[in-house]
A and B are shown apart, each in its own frame.
Chain A
């Protein structure tokens, strides 16, 4: 079945370091792609999304580009802050059931001062 793969971490970075979290998906066609973030003790919230090939989603300094040719949606940020410490989930809609969203396993990020 369809799946989403992402680096599981944990990832530990120093403040102001560059962040990349890789994400690849298997759904065929043109699924919508999402990055969600979960801060400690909270529910998930949308960070950014892209709904068609070559779209770039961006929010709070984070960016991800929908790459159809490599079936990827890697998350990047040029300079992380301590407040970015959270778990990041990549997700895609499924081609056979657009009401179902498949989540990756999550990547835990810790940013140290």
Chain B
């Protein structure tokens, strides 16, 4: 019973291609996130959705476009891939507490993207 799942686990592609990563959570959480982890393990938030509404949109190239069809799913589409996009991408989910404070985040296993 995987709580947060991502597909694919590995993605190897050529520069200029378009690719998507999918994420699903079965925890009943209302908030989902995309993070990028670089080769030095530094974790940077990219986007967050709450009940299908975009609430965090960091300084990310507009080649990256998230989509949340429902509150259990958050997908990430990347256009015109570049070498610098190579990283591990993590999806996470959490439940917003009363008053707006966020609780523990639950992470997926990651998608390792390699752009050649």
Q: Do A and B bind each other?
A: yes
Return the contact of A100 from the options B56, B107, B108, B110 (Cβ within 8 A): B56
Q: Count of A-B contacts with CB under 8 A? A: 59
- Chain B residues 84 to 116 lying within 8 A of chain A, measured CB to CB, are 90, 92, 96, 99-110
Range for the number of chain B residues in contact with chain A = 20 to 34
Q: What is the minimal beta-carbon distance from A50 to any residue of chain B, in angstroms?
A: 12
Number of interface residues of A (CB under 8 A): 22
Question: B residues within 8 Å of A by Cβ?
Answer: 4, 31, 40-43, 45, 48, 50, 55-56, 90, 92, 96, 99-110
List, in ascending order, chain A residues with CB within 8 A of B45's CB: 100-101
**Which residue of the partner chain, among A32, A43, A87, A101, contacts B110 with CB atoms under 8 Å?**
A43
5 shortest A-B CB distances, which residue pairs? A43-B107, A98-B101, A106-B41, A44-B107, A103-B43
**A66 interface residue, CB < 8 Å from B?**
no
